[in-house]
Amino acid sequence: MIFTVAIDGPAAAGKGTISRAVAARFGFAYLDTGLLYRAVGAKGGDPVEAARTLSEADLARDDLRTLEAGQAASRVATIPEVREALVDFQRRFARRDGGAVLDGRDIGTVICPEAEVKLYVTASAQVRAHRRWLEVGGDEAQVLAEVMERDKRDADRAVSPLKAAADAVVIDTSDMGISEAVATAIDIVRARIGG
């Protein structure tokens, strides 16, 4: 069965947690596409060359979840040639037999506009910054400033800006616990598979 679930949204909204849970529940393969960009940014050097030569080992680095890697990912994601180098990989992954869940910023709008399910997971900037701060520590006000800066950069970029697909179901996790957010997403996917 080919069945693609595209999950988009800003940083720290919960899309990764929801994506992993949906993939596990339905036995689908999972790709955190943000890791592709984080790995390109973390490799350093020419970002276009880094994207073209990205390997599985690059995705296994243990420094890809840092704030620095997230900022680097947001910067390299604005480079059209980097995005082009990673699009084919993502599209092949998405249409693999057995189903796939991909999360990112432009999965439902650009990478997989034909996805059977599109979700847009969001939360207020303050809630997302607090979640990120609990994860990485540091100065919470600085984390909020960085989240807001990244949101602006992701939304304003000329190529594949962060936005919900017209046919995406929006899940606002600002006032939801993890289990409620996951259950909401699973119910939506289950309804589409069953329908």
Domain ranges of the chain: 4-187
Has 11 been labeled as part of a binding site?
Answer: yes
pTM for this structure?
0.83
Question: Using CA atoms, how far apart are residues 144 and 128, in angstroms rounded to an integer?
Answer: 8
Q: SS3 for 103-154, per residue?
A: EECCHHHHHCCCCCEEEEEECCHHHHHHHHHHHHCCCHHHHHHHHHHHHHHH
- Taking only the tens of pLDDT, the chain with its 195 residues reads 899 999 999 988 999 999 999 999 999 999 988 899 999 999 989 999 999 998 878 888 999 988 888 888 888 988 989 988 999 889 988 999 999 999 998 899 999 999 999 999 999 999 999 999 998 899 999 999 999 998 888 888 877 788 999 999 999 999 999 999 999 999 999 999 985
- Output the pLDDT for position 195: 55
- Output the pLDDT for position 74: 84
Question: Using CA atoms, how far apart are residues 74 and 69, in angstroms rounded to an integer?
Answer: 9
Six-digit token pair at 119? 């979700």
Six-digit token pair at 72? 């680097």
Has 51 been labeled as part of a binding site?
Answer: no
Has 21 been labeled as part of a binding site?
Answer: no
Has 98 been labeled as part of a binding site?
Answer: no
Contacts by residues 140-145 (CB-CB < 8 Å, ≥ 24 positions apart): 143/67
Has 12 been labeled as part of a binding site?
Answer: yes
Has 16 been labeled as part of a binding site?
Answer: yes
The domain defined by 4-187 folds into Rossmann fold (3.40.50)
Has 99 been labeled as part of a binding site?
Answer: no
Q: Partners of 102 in the beta sheet?
A: 6, 31
Asked whether the beta carbons of 93 and 100 are under 8 A apart, the reply is yes
Has 66 been labeled as part of a binding site?
Answer: no
